[in-house]
Structure 1
């Protein structure tokens, strides 16, 4: 009798566990489809400031991003958080110069200063793909800590691999309901025939809410991208 009760209880527990797992998976799938549906929809307008994360890359990537920021409504997209690779001090210095120019234009009046941060690279130039697996995991853990701290409403990026861990975490934050961050990716002007690896990943995985290209042939090849002409 006791054995029979034990078996019944075990079966009941197993059925409840299976039901809970099924419900959880169903809810996650529904939430995932909801996020996929709303990704790409226009950003909801608001009079409130929009916290903005700006991912900088080395060299031309930073130059293009700062050129893009020069036409941004900086009074609306604030506070601003700049992130560059840990080995890229030059990009943050250029961003600081840009922010200082905004202070001078405003007569020294600043509501909230920009913040500058660094993140580990997923893969250095020339690094083997085998060792990059470890560095990518480290970069993801570091990116998770930064994203938990910043929780931006908007993410701006334009090509550097540094943006991938941040965008991946931002996407999962959407699915989990932690924070909805709209990801805007502007492909580099140097990309004429095909997207960069970062752009291709965000395009294929549908993580970017809006992906902009600067050459019409790119828009023809990737129909979900938006052609905006040359920004430089």
Structure 2
């Protein structure tokens, strides 16, 4: 009887989270960032090309998107310099940004089995970071590091603390298929951008605006 009661409680909790997740994702389309002032942005920068692409995306944003909280992997030694250079060139008097580090979810060529453990470890650091910053929007474009950060943002909405927009822009190198990160975030993202018409045709929820980087 005790086991049955525990199982029922777990099922009800799971049902609650599923319903709340559905509500959070569905209400994202009605939320317009910037309509009520500044937009706090959590930017997930992956190493190499991912960082370059996401900085190109930020070039098109207005001064309303501030402060910008960049999150990079703790083993990434190049992105911080790129971000600081980018911010210095923006030349905005009220420019505000921070750089935070979290453990990488998955290293290159890391096995899938061990990446589950490393992703959970990254989530352990991502949850308190996102709950502390409480951004209006998470902007990412593919690095595995964004999975736990987006999960933390969704949890804020599920718990009714704050609606956090999940904005995903698939890398330009993905022409025919989505990246693994894209496939995971496609159902839960509020805005999902692709840079090739072939992907737009396969994924009807996606938004195609041509080449963005």
Is this a same-fold pair by TM over 0.5?
yes
Contact 2:41 2:139 in 1 (8 A): yes
**Corresponding residue of 1:132:** 115
Distance 1:163 1:61 in 2: 11
Secondary structure of 2:115's match?
helix
Contact 1:213 1:226 in 2 (8 A): yes
Structure 1 stretches of 5 or more lacking a match?
A: 1-16
Change (3 A) 1:86 1:47: same
CA shift, 1:42, in A, is 4.8
Q: Which moved more, 1:127-136 or 1:88-97?
A: 127-136
**Corresponding residue of 1:160:** 143
Report the TM-score, using the length of structure 1 for normalisation.
0.82
Greater Rg over alpha carbons, structure: 1
**Corresponding residue of 2:204:** 223
Cα RMSD after superposing both structures: 2.6
Contact 1:167 1:207 in 2 (8 A): no
Does structure 1 residue 77 correspond to structure 2 residue 60? Answer: no
Instruction: Give the count of matched residue pairs.
Output: 212
CA shift, 1:21, in A, is 8.2
Contact 1:85 1:121 in 2 (8 A): yes
Does structure 1 residue 122 correspond to structure 2 residue 105? Answer: yes
Alignment of 1:140-219 (within 5 A): 140-203=123-186, 206-219=187-200
Write out the 4+ residue segments of structure 1 that deviate beyond 4 Å after TM superposition. 17-30
Contact 1:40 1:208 in 2 (8 A): no
Contact 2:70 2:100 in 1 (8 A): yes
